Amino acid sequence: MNKFLTGVLVTLVILCRLPAATNSVTRGTNATVTAPDPNDPVEKEYKKLMDDDDAAQSEVDAWLRENEKFAAAGSGLPEAELNQRVRDRLVPVRTAYEDFIRRHPAHARAHVAYGSFLNDLHEEDVAREHWEKAMALDPKNPAIYNNLANLYGHTGPVKKAFEYYAKAIELNPRESIYYHNFGTTVFLFRKDAREFYGLTEQQVFDKALELYSQALKLDPRNFPLASDVAQTYYGIRPLRADDALKAWTNTLTVAESEIERESVYLHLARVKLIAGRFAEARAHLNCVTNETYAELKTRLTRNLNEQEKKGAPTNAPPAAGQK
């Protein structure tokens, strides 16, 4: 199940959407990176290292998905046993990274990739060391600033994250993910953003939304991005209902599957419920038929029925069980 759907099932509102530190050199949408010579023996070795890392991560992801299914049926591996299996699978990859960097200490991209590997293992301090080493070797690589900004968003100081996102965008203003991560961090850490930029809270909201807007201009068909932007409106008080509905309508246009579309119908129903547009909210709920959303649909329907009896719009908290 993808990250967005997991979030929908749990809450229908913004939780902690801190961007994960990642190797955006290879995973970014528009990153500009000078291509190395593929015939260079060091680059061939580096490529094999990346392939081995990807293979290990794919295998681990498959284990986790499989165990989740078994666990739902009451037969999954104990958490400790699964974690040990994952660690054992990643040991040779870690050893290969350390051996490569020992022999090629000035290979900046290897430090970036190894930092991402370590960050995924929650070894943030060591990951930071490798990213800082990569920055010293290649100070014009925007992905390094993005990765460090993501890390500072998790561990602090948050204001350092603001600086590093801005630097990543300065170095590569065509990378959507930098604006996306920056906007999320500004939104989540509004007090820090107010102090750092000298803004009011409403101006901080506007700044986050402008960053999101730039991200969408660069990657307009990205459903997780569009949905992330739309969810931001749940945290803005007073609710900007019309803007929220426009954002969710935009998200609906880029949905690629029925399950994605139905998730958007739930959000449209919730915003219209809050705005007192009860008939429209019910129409959206009637479009939701997938069993995945049965519980959420029931909660929203119950809330809608209660508000219709009262005959007035509400800004009350969502139904019991929703955060």
- Could you tell me the two tokens for 308? 């219709």
| Residue 222 within a domain | no
| Residue 12 within a domain | no
Per the structure, the complete domain to which residue 100 belongs is given by: 34-140
Q: How confident is the model at residue 4 (pLDDT cuts 50, 70, 90)?
A: very low
Long-range Cβ contacts of 32-37 (<8 Å, 24+ apart): 32/172, 32/174, 33/141, 33/143
Tally of domains within the chain: 1
Q: What is the pLDDT of residue 313?
A: 53
| Residue 2 within a domain | no
Q: Minimal CA–CA distance to 163: which of 137, 187, 182?
A: 182
What are the residues whose beta carbons fall under 8 Å from the beta carbon of 249, sequence distance 6 or more? 268
| Residue 133 within a domain | yes
Q: Minimal CA–CA distance to 319: which of 257, 270, 278, 248?
A: 270
What are 39-62's pLDDT values in tens digits? 889 999 999 999 999 999 999 999
CA 85, 88, 93: angle at the middle one, nearest 5? Answer: 130
Q: Any idea which residue has 């666990």 for tokens?
A: 71
**Which pTM value belongs to this model?**
0.82
Instruction: State which amino acid sits at residue 165.
Output: Y
How far apart CA 262 and CA 235 sit, in angstroms, is 22
| Residue 231 within a domain | no
Determine what percent of the chain is predicted with pLDDT higher than 70. 86
| Residue 61 within a domain | yes
State the CATH number of the domain containing residue 69. 1.25.40.10
Q: Minimal CA–CA distance to 285: which of 297, 271, 272?
A: 297
Q: Is the pLDDT of residue 128 over 70?
A: yes
| Residue 70 within a domain | yes
| Residue 214 within a domain | no
Which DSSP category does 122 fall into? Answer: T
What are 157-185's pLDDT values in tens digits? 999 999 999 999 999 999 999 999 999 99
Q: Any idea which residue has 């890392």 for tokens?
A: 53
